[in-house]
Amino acid sequence: MPEMSETRDQTQALKDLIAALRPQPLELRDGGGEFECVHARPLGMDRLFGGQVLGQALAAAQVVTGGRLAHSLHAHFLRRGNGHTPIRLSATTIRKSRAFETLEILARQEDSEPILQMVASFHQDEEGPVHQIPMDAVGPPQGESFEESLLRAMTPHGFDPLEGGDEEDQRSFELPVEIRSVGGLGIFSKDVKPPQARCWLRVRGELPEDPALHQCLFAYASDYAIMAPALNPHPVSALEMQSYSLDHAIWFHRPLQIDDWLLFELDSPVASGARSIGRGLLYTSEGDLVASCVQEGLLRPQRQS
C-alpha cells in the first residue's frame, strides 16, 4: 500500500492541464451552452490526446448541470484532432428527470465536423444495495514511470531519462499524471505475457476539494494505460503498432481523489479485426472501487515504408 505523502506542489504540466479543463463559456442557455477550451501543453506530439477532450467535454457538461457529479460518460472519438487549435464544445441537455440529467456534448476544431461525441449522465444520490469486487493485493508505487519508459523506448541509444539529458525533452514528455506500474506495463517490450496489468496513478501535485475537477482529471488519465494489456499476448512493441482510441466509457461509483494514489487494475479480454478492448477498475489505496472504464481501440501493425 502507498505511504502517506508530503505536501506536493503542482507541477507546471498539471497547472496547464487544470487550466485546459476550465471551459470558457461563449454562450449559456437553458439546458445547454457553448464553450471554448485552451490546450494543455502538447506531450511531444502534434496529435490531440484523446483524454484531454474527454476531460474537457465532461467539464462543460458539469457547468451546464450546475457542478453536479457525473455517474457515467460514453464517448466516441470521431476524427483526429490537432494539439494546437482551440476546442469548441457544445453541450445540450437531452433528458432531465427528478433523478437523472443527461447531456450530449460535441467537440469541434475550427468549425469542422465533430472530433468527439459524448453522452454524460448525472444521477441524484440514492440509497440502495452496496457491493464490489475486492482489490488485488499489490506492491507500492515504485519503479520507472510511464513517460520514462516511453523516452527510453524512443531513444534506446541516447537519452536516459533516469540520468538527466536535455531538459526541454524531459519537459515535453512530463505528464501531469504520475503512473507507476506494478511489475511493468510492458507496452514497449516484445515479451509475451497474459493480457493484464496493474498501475498506480495520481496527479503531480495537490488539488483543491473539487470533486468535479477530480472526475475530469481521471477522465483525462484513463486514456493513458487502459489499452496496455492488449499488447501483452503479442510479441510486438507499441512503437510497431498504430493505435487510436475509438470509443471510451467511464462509470463513477463514488467520489474520488486523484491527488492520492489510486490503483488501476487493467485487462484486455479480446483483440480481433484490428480492434481491441481494454477494461479498468480504479481503487483507492484502502480498497474502495471508485470508477470503472472500458475502451475500444484500433490496433494494427505499422505500414512498412
Residue 1, pLDDT score = 56
Residue 60, pLDDT score = 98
- pTM as predicted: 0.90
Q: Is residue 160 part of a domain?
A: yes
Q: Is residue 139 part of a domain?
A: no
* pLDDT tens digit sequence for 127-146: 999 999 999 999 888 877 77
For residues 144-153, give the mean pLDDT.
Answer: 70
Q: Is residue 190 part of a domain?
A: yes
* Residue 90 annotated as catalytic: no
Q: Is residue 192 part of a domain?
A: yes
Query: In whole angstroms, what is the distance from residue 283 CA to residue 179 CA?
Result: 14
From the candidates 52, 245, 268, 292, give the one annotated as an active-site residue: 245
From the candidates 62, 145, 149, 223, give the one annotated as an active-site residue: 223
Query: In whole angstroms, what is the distance from residue 71 CA to residue 249 CA?
Result: 11
Q: Is residue 40 part of a domain?
A: yes
* Residue 196 annotated as catalytic: no
pLDDT exceeds 60 at position 169 = no
Residue 114: which CATH number?
A: 2.40.160.210
Q: Are strands 262-267 and 177-181 parallel, antiparallel or unpaired?
A: unpaired
Q: Is residue 176 part of a domain?
A: yes
* pLDDT tens digit sequence for 71-129: 999 999 999 888 888 999 999 999 999 999 999 999 999 878 999 999 999 999 999 99
Q: How far is CA 155 from CA 146, 150, 169, 189, in A?
A: 14, 9, 11, 14
Q: Is residue 5 part of a domain?
A: no
* Residue 302 annotated as catalytic: no
Query: In whole angstroms, what is the distance from residue 137 CA to residue 152 CA?
Result: 29
Query: What domain count does the chain have?
Result: 1
* pLDDT tens digit sequence for 205-259: 999 999 999 999 999 999 988 998 998 888 887 777 788 899 999 999 999 999 9
Residue 268, pLDDT score = 96
Residue 88, pLDDT score = 96
Which domain, by its residues, includes 286?
Answer: 12-125+144-301
Q: Cell 463513477 belongs to which residue? A: 252
Q: Is residue 79 part of a domain?
A: yes
